Amino acid sequence: MSDFCLNYPISFEKLIRENRIEFPLNYRHFVQTGVIAKTPRSVSLETTATCQLSCKMCDRGGIRRKTMYMPDEVFIAAIRNLAPYRPKLNFNGMGEPLLDEKLPERIAYAGSHGFDILGLVTNGLLLTPQISRELIAAGIRRITISLDGNDQASHESGHTTASYQAVTENIESLVRISRELFAEHLEIVLRVTIQKKNLASIPSIFMRWHDKVSFIKVNFVYQYGNVQTDPVVPFRWKERIPCPSMLSGLMILTNGDTTICCMGDINADLRVGNVTSDRLDKLYSGEIAQSIRNKHLSGDLESLPVCQRCAGCTISSFYFGTLARSIETECMKYVNSAAVEK
Ligand code: SF4
Ligand code: SF4
């Protein structure tokens, strides 16, 4: 690991060595009691499964289902089904959400049904000033933009062929517009996915953006089984744990099929029903969902090949999270010390 040190006063090796794994409270509660809520805390709604990029780190290459846009009748049925439970709603799945031209009107429709936490993650290429205005007017609460570097080469390490200039201009204009509109409810978040090639650029991303956006989140490439990644920190495959994804959320795909996994199940192998015909509590904690969870929790991964290939249920998923928070803290210390020196 010695060749991945940053050229800044931040020792990546030291962080790796010293990091203890932090388990969130709800996860510890589940492991101690086995009790799971009747409905999920968050739901990902895939209004499109298409994308204009083909990033090497992305699982999309493994999609076997038809990639399409969510039909209106599926979208409306999903919102009406979820509304009584008000989970946190993310407009993400296996596509770039801003390719869905109906997205602002769909976000406004969800908002009119009482969802108060609405977010999306975008590659930023289509986040034009006009779309930014429309999303803010629609009531979006959090826009997360992927930015993986401080120049074209480092940004491309994650988002293959994405224009660094276009993305950064769009972030700048979103920041400006949100200030003009006094959009205090909006969080603008940058998500930096760490790769070997962009590791050294991470502190300078914090330097440039920390006082413009709400916060910067560091992220690792996960191995969900559909891509071969070249991880900065090796996955700890032998240490299997109950998958946190299966214990907190659902993902609704464009045709309404719903999977118990909100991260890696790109072809709905863990399908628990369809949101147009099954109520949310049945989808999340009904017989099919419990049977899948029981197999998973008893370690019977042979009957769940999608989980067997996936690092989501290894200790790495929490280890990376803890490590990412430490890197964020160190980068902010670096930013603050640079400000003092000035
Ligand atoms: S932009 Fe996002 S969804 Fe599209 S290929 Fe890249 S990582 Fe995947
Ligand atoms: S192990 Fe992977 S595929 Fe299985 S539920 Fe977790 S994230 Fe999804």
Q: How far is the CA of 309 from the centre of ligand 1 (A)?
A: 20
Residue 113 region by backbone torsions, left for phi larger than 0, else alpha for psi between -120 and 50, else beta: alpha
- Residue 117 is predicted with a pLDDT of 83
- Residue 263 is predicted with a pLDDT of 79
Pocket of ligand 2 (CB under 6 A): 224, 243, 245-246, 261, 263-265, 306-307, 310, 312-313
Most confident among 67-81, 215-229, 233-247 (mean pLDDT): 67-81
Note whether 44 and 251 are within 8 A (CB): yes
Q: From the CA of 317, which ligand is nearest?
A: 2
pLDDT in tens, 307-331: 998 988 888 888 999 999 999 999 9
* pLDDT band at residue 23 under the 50/70/90 scheme: confident
Pick the residue whose CA is nearest to atom 1 on ligand 2.
307
Pick the residue whose CA is nearest to atom 4 on ligand 2.
307
When pLDDT is averaged across residues 66-81 and rounded to a whole number, the result is 97
- Residue 249 is predicted with a pLDDT of 92
- Residue 22 is predicted with a pLDDT of 82
* pLDDT band at residue 228 under the 50/70/90 scheme: low
Total H helices, total E strands in the chain: 12, 9
When pLDDT is averaged across residues 49-56 and rounded to a whole number, the result is 92
pLDDT in tens, 107-143: 999 999 999 889 999 999 999 999 999 999 999 999 9
Q: How far is the CA of 294 from the centre of ligand 2 (A)?
A: 13
Q: How far is the CA of 23 from the centre of ligand 1 (A)?
A: 28
Helix (H, G, I), strand (E, B) or coil at 86: coil
* pLDDT band at residue 288 under the 50/70/90 scheme: very high
Q: How many beta carbons lie within 10 A of that of residue 278, not counting itself?
A: 17
Q: How far is the CA of 146 from the centre of ligand 1 (A)?
A: 9
Q: How far is the CA of 269 from the centre of ligand 2 (A)?
A: 10
Q: From the CA of 167, which ligand is nearest?
A: 1
133 lines ligand 1 (CB under 6 A): no
When pLDDT is averaged across residues 175-200 and rounded to a whole number, the result is 93
Q: How far is the CA of 165 from the centre of ligand 2 (A)?
A: 35
Q: From the CA of 46, which ligand is nearest?
A: 1
Q: How far is CA 145 from CA 118, 164, 181, 208, 339, in A?
A: 15, 12, 19, 15, 25
Atom of ligand 2 nearest to the CA of 262: 8
Atom of ligand 1 nearest to the CA of 57: 7
